[in-house]
Every structure is written in structure tokens, then in C-alpha cells.
Amino acid sequence: MVFQDSTTKEDFLTLLHLKDRTRGQKKYVDENCIPIQKLVAIPTDGAPAMRSGFIALCRSDPAFPDFVNYHCVIHQQALVGKVVDFSHVMTLLVKLINSIRAEALQQRLFKALLDELDAAYGDLILYADVWWQTGKLPPSFTVRVGDEVTLPCENVKDGQQECENTTWLFVGSGNTAAVKLVKLGQIGENTKAKSDRLSVTENCSLVIKKVTDQEVGRYHCRQFISKQQQVPDSRVLLSLIIMTERKDADKVTLNCSVSKYEQSCIHTVKWLYEGKDVDKDKKT
């Protein structure tokens, strides 16, 4: 808040748990009689769910005044770091953070040091990459059930004989816990059941044969040297096309659906019959 003497005060209002849709955040504003007419700006992380969901909902509500929407300070700092080359800083920073978080003993000692110094934070947070809201998204692959797909590792380090510095992680829909598919070039212990369908190419790309709906999600290619992560992860999104057929007495109904990771699907669907667009030529 800004007062008449030009002083400002910042206070924490609340922390909302996002159970389903972003519309719930606007409901909180309505139920708690917040003086919305004094609203000047709403900072967000720039995610499509916020831009086209929550922000669009507020702009369409006549009770809301004209307001400015921009990236929050944390994301602004991260995005500026993408324009200004801070790789010489970030590479070292990622190494330091991961060296502490990778070992339980190192993390306990570091937390004890923070307690001794009465630090504002009690632990280290993990490095997280940030995208421009209109920038390049991770590569996205869409295949059909039973197909084979090769997911590229865009940050792979040269000089590897058998991808001994490469680890592939998988996060399924719903942000489940990450699973190590490949650990330093070897198939992970938790993926033995489908080890015959997983392999790594010479350039450390991940190959998945006979894809099922269990493979839909986000894949991370991570590079290590001496057990230390070298660069931010290279990420790939995988979606799955599911075709079903239902036969009735005098007709056949075809259904096409896409199983995707969160909001990653950016494709449209077009039905073709003998190479012709069904929507444009109804006679086919």
C-alpha cells in the first residue's frame, strides 16, 4: 500500500491452495469483501492458466477497475537473467546448490549453519528454470499408442562414451514424484519392468518403444560430471493420441482424444478421409 506521505507498506494477505481452477482465487476476493476498487496491478508468473484464466476473468468483471498485469518480481529477475548472459554465474550457482542438496549430511550441516546465523531462510531452494510467457516452450512430441518415440537431450555434453554423464527423469501428469528412467547411462532400478522398451542413443536421446498412456508427462535430461549437475535440465513433453472405434448397426463412430501433460497440448485436430479435410468437404 502507498500512503499520502509516499511511504509504502507490504503485507501478506493469504496463501491459497489451488484445488482445481484459477477461478477460485477470484472467489476469495469476493467472499472477503476486499476493496477491489483500489486495485492497481496484479503480478503473476505469466503462465497461460493465470493469463487466460484468472486475469481474463478479472478483466471481464465490471467490479474490477483497470489494472496492470505483469510478471512478479521473482520471475522478472529470472527472465532478465535469460536476456543478460549470467551463465558464468548461474552455472557455478547451480553446482553449489546441488552439491549441498545432493547429500543428506551436507544439507543438514548447511541448515545447522543457517540456524546458527539466524538466517531468514532455513534451507536452500532448488534451482527452477522460468520461461517467457510468449517464449519458447520445451519441445513437445505427440504420438499414438504403440508408437516409438525418440526424445532429444538438447544440453548433452560432448565426449561421453556411453552417456555416462546423462540422467533421464520422468514426471507424470499431476506432478507426481520424479522417476529416474536412466541414471548415468544405465536403465534405472525403478524402471526394470519396462527396461526392454527403454534405450539411449549415441547422442544420449531417450528412446521409448511401444508407448502407453503411462509415458505421458515431462522428461528431464540432466548432465553430471563427478556427481555434480552441470547445467539446467533439458526438458521434453510427451503427449499421446488415443483412437477408439465403436460400431453400431449402420454406422461406425471414431473418437480421437489426446492425453497430455497439464496444459502442454498446443495442437489442433483435423479429420481426414482419403487425404481430404472432412470439415471442409462434408460429402466425404
Q: What integer pLDDT is reported at residue 52 of this predicted model?
A: 64
Q: What integer pLDDT is reported at residue 207 of this predicted model?
A: 93
Indicate if 194 and 249 belong to the same structural domain: no
Indicate if 170 and 262 belong to the same structural domain: no
Indicate if 236 and 251 belong to the same structural domain: no
Q: Residue 59 falls within a domain, yes or no?
A: yes
Indicate if 64 and 150 belong to the same structural domain: no
Question: Which amino acid, residue 76?
Answer: Q
Residue range of the domain that includes 216:
140-240
* Residues of the chain falling short of pLDDT 50: 130-135, 264, 282-284
DSSP the chain: -B-TTS-B-----------S-THHHHHHHHHTT--GGG--EEEE---HIIIIIIIHHHHH-TTSPP-EEEE-HHHHHHHHHHHTT-HHHHHHHHHHHHHHHSSHHHHHHHHHHHHHTT-S-SSPPPP-----TTSPPPPEEEEETT--EEE--TTPPTT-SSSTTEEEEEEETTTPPPEEEEETTEE-GGGGGGGGGEEE-TT--EEE-S--GGG-EEEEEEEEETTEE-SPPEEEEEEEEEEEEEE-SS-EEEEEEEE-STT--------EETTEETTT-TT-
Q: Residue 258 falls within a domain, yes or no?
A: yes
Give helix 104-116 / helix 87-101 axis angle, nearest 10°: 100
Q: What integer pLDDT is reported at residue 284 of this predicted model?
A: 38
Q: Residue 5 falls within a domain, yes or no?
A: no
Indicate if 251 and 221 belong to the same structural domain: no
141 to 147, 238, 260, 263, 265: CA distances (angstroms): 12, 5, 10, 14, 9
What is the domain-level CATH number for residue 156? 2.60.40.10
Q: Residue 66 falls within a domain, yes or no?
A: yes
Q: What integer pLDDT is reported at residue 196 of this predicted model?
A: 83
Angstrom distance (rounded) from CA 272 to CA 284: 9
Q: Residue 187 falls within a domain, yes or no?
A: yes
Q: Residue 120 falls within a domain, yes or no?
A: no
Indicate if 250 and 236 belong to the same structural domain: no
Angstrom distance (rounded) from CA 98 to CA 95: 5
Question: Which amino acid, residue 26?
Answer: K
Q: Residue 253 falls within a domain, yes or no?
A: yes
Sign of CA dihedral 110, 113, 117, 118: positive
Indicate if 195 and 220 belong to the same structural domain: yes
Q: What integer pLDDT is reported at residue 42 of this predicted model?
A: 81
Indicate if 219 and 167 belong to the same structural domain: yes
Angstrom distance (rounded) from CA 39 to CA 27: 16
Indicate if 213 and 248 belong to the same structural domain: no
Joined grid coordinates for residue 86: 549470467
64 to 58, 144, 189: CA distances (angstroms): 6, 45, 53
Q: Residue 34 falls within a domain, yes or no?
A: yes
How many Cβ atoms sit within 10 Å of the Cβ of residue 147? 14
User: Is-contact 149 238, C-beta < 8 A?
Assistant: yes
Instruction: State the total domains in the chain.
Output: 3
Indicate if 144 and 232 belong to the same structural domain: yes
